[in-house]
Amino acid sequence: MANTIIHKAATRGHANHGWLNSFHTFSFANYYDPERVHFGALRVLNDDTVEAGMGFGTHPHDNMEIISIPLEGDLEHKDSMGNVSVIKHGDIQVMSAGTGIHHSEYNKNKDSRVKFLQIWVFPNQKKVTPRYDQITLNMADRHNQLQQILSPNADDAGVWIHQNAWFHLGKFDKGVVKEYNLKAAGNGVYAFILSGDVTINGQSLNTRDGFGIWNVEKIAIQADSDAEFLLMEVPMEV
């Protein structure tokens, strides 16, 4: 029997710092809900908007896989490994914090906001050598398809992380139906609706809703309107 959990958009934690407007699907910073600490290996799903010219000053991370998915604007990244880069809509960035890194993230533009998803996944091994990677995706490959953007395998499509996880993005026209087959036993899928209306295994979902499902081998996805969404398959045991 499938297990499910739904997190409606309006129930998320929220912090508006002026320069940063952040919605937290899971407990983060000053937002804590014992029922919403993580979904398996998925620890953080933050939906962030950063005002023009503002950003996160240099701060540390360790033993976490950190994924950034820009939705709008240009985000400038600098880190203690010597990487300086800009990521924008269509890119995906990954850092394995491992033994420890410091980094900063700023909105590169002085006249427009930047929006991005910041995602943390527990790694399956600690104290790894820190690393950084970013790629530019072909966004046409998610039109009415599930585009793989992350996996455990360095030679597979998308970026890779130290975890038995797979992420896919879909941008579906209204009426499109697809099936997603889970890649590994013991994994679950957390879906995050970026825009539009989607039904997953009979559960109706709307913009910025989150839906977790596990103890299944596959899920059925139907776009009830033009819609864009992220599927995150992760181990349920960490």
- If asked whether residues 186 and 77 sit together in one domain, one would say no
- If asked whether residues 113 and 209 sit together in one domain, one would say no
| pLDDT score of 92 more than 90 | yes
CATH number, domain containing residue 222: 2.60.120.10
Rounded to whole angstroms, how far apart are CA atoms 211 and 80? 35
| Cross-strand partners of 170 | 146, 229
Domain boundary among 84, 111, 136: 136
Residue 32's pLDDT is 97
Residue at 161 is within a domain:
yes
- If asked whether residues 105 and 206 sit together in one domain, one would say no
Q: How far is CA 169 from CA 109, 144, 149, 164, in A?
A: 26, 10, 7, 17
Domain boundary among 121, 136, 151: 136
The amino acid sitting at 47 is: D
Residue 150's pLDDT is 98
- If asked whether residues 163 and 214 sit together in one domain, one would say yes
- If asked whether residues 19 and 126 sit together in one domain, one would say yes
- If asked whether residues 101 and 188 sit together in one domain, one would say no
Q: How many folded domains does the chain comprise?
A: 2
- If asked whether residues 125 and 188 sit together in one domain, one would say no
- If asked whether residues 17 and 120 sit together in one domain, one would say yes
Domain boundary among 77, 106, 136: 136
| pLDDT score of 1 more than 90 | no
Give Cβ neighbours of residue 75 (< 8 Å, ≥ 6 apart): 50, 55, 68, 86, 87, 88, 105, 106, 107, 108, 114, 116
Structural domain containing residue 188: 139-235
Which pTM value belongs to this model?
0.97
| pLDDT score of 144 more than 90 | yes
Mean pLDDT value across residues 128-143: 97
Count CB atoms within 10 A of the CB of residue 100: 12
Rounded to whole angstroms, how far apart are CA atoms 136 and 91? 4
- If asked whether residues 148 and 122 sit together in one domain, one would say no
